[in-house]
Amino acid sequence: MELMKAVIYNKKGSPDKLIYKDVEKPIPNDNEVLIKIYATSINAADYRPMKLGIIPKKKIFGADVSGKVESVGKNIRKFKPGDDVIGDLSDFGYGGFAEYATAPEEAFVLKPANISYETAAAIPLAGITALQAVRNKANIQKGNQVLIVGSSGGVGTFAVQLAKYFGAEVTAVCSTRNIVQSSTLGANYTIDYTKEDFTKNDKTYDIVLAVNGNYSLSAYKRVLNKHGVYVMVGGAMMQVIKTLLFAKLLSLGSKKMYSLYAKSNPKDLEFVAKLVADGHIKPIIEQRFPLDKTANAMRYVGEGHAQGKVVINVNGE
């Protein structure tokens, strides 16, 4: 039996319930790819389920991965050993906080040669979520006026850049320390929520993306234009619950209110990765941790103040 290092959830592990230890290295079945992971990154989809006691079967969190294909099952046609890949394991049991992971080939896309493993690992969930929010749910059009509430985290930083890429006018809502970052990423206007309440001025928007915060749905609806669209992509748990419960009722009429549950999609991942490779957008990486410090990284991201993404470097390349 071959072993690997991994970060395992253990409910008796104190204080973080995440233990760095040796576990059995996975073996791919006929329809799986085995990758050597060089980098992974942390998302709300990791720390929120852990807080709720929703644990992956493998007891290893981590959805975003980048690395090199080590071996493939006999039915795999898309990849071969040695290929550099980016993966989204969120629909395939997670497993990214480890030296190796297996998943079906639809979890992966080829990594563009001109971006690092670290950069690649910061793309999947945050990039796909932002893309599906602005393009699919909100149906963004050139010239739209877009308000992004919570512009400084992983999804928010991608959302600002993608909205600008699609030709929108962007207003970013964030704290004082993130104003410069949001402007640098392309926001036309910024609102410091510690000094100004955007729900109480007269400005309205074609699209409102709620990435963070906890404002009332009626306040969000009030700042929408006549045919405006609100999309909840994250935020405080109460914001998420309120949107799930009441958005459909509040969508009666011309203003629409939606919640987004992003889905793993290799075409979307390829699209965002190409934008990164071509220099149109970039993931913002605030901090880096080694694999054995994953518990510290999860704690930091869970506090909700990360400026962009937090990456875990696994195999040191």
- Residue range 3-123+283-313 forms a domain whose CATH class is alpha beta
Distance of CA 223 to the CA centre of its chain: 26
Model pLDDT, residue 32: 98
Distance of CA 92 to the CA centre of its chain: 16
Amino acid identity for residue 171 in this structure? T
Q: Identical fold at 3-123+283-313 and 129-259?
A: no
Q: What Cα–Cα distance (Å) separates residue 68 from each residue in 39, 42, 63?
A: 10, 19, 16
Task: Render each residue's pLDDT in the chain as its tens digit; 317 residues.
Answer: 899 999 999 987 666 789 999 999 999 999 999 999 999 999 988 988 888 888 999 999 999 999 999 999 999 999 999 999 999 999 999 999 999 999 999 999 999 999 999 999 999 999 999 999 999 999 999 999 999 999 999 999 999 999 999 999 999 999 999 999 999 999 999 999 999 999 998 899 999 999 987 888 889 999 999 999 999 897 667 777 777 776 776 677 789 988 888 899 999 999 999 999 999 999 999 999 999 999 999 999 888 778 899 999 998 65
Q: Of 125, 71, 143, 68, whose CA–CA distance to 99 is shortest?
A: 68
Contact assessment for residue 92 and residue 104, using Cβ atoms and an 8 Å cutoff: yes
Q: Tell me the CATH number for domain 129-259.
A: 3.40.50.720
Full DSSP string of 23-76: EEPP---TTEEEEEEEEEE--HHHHHHHHHT---TTS----EEEEEEEEE-TT-
Please state the pTM of the whole predicted model. Answer: 0.94
pLDDT digits (tens, 9 = 90+) for 89-131: 999 999 999 999 999 999 999 999 999 999 999 999 999 999 9
Domain segments of the chain: what residues? Answer: 3-123+283-313, 129-259
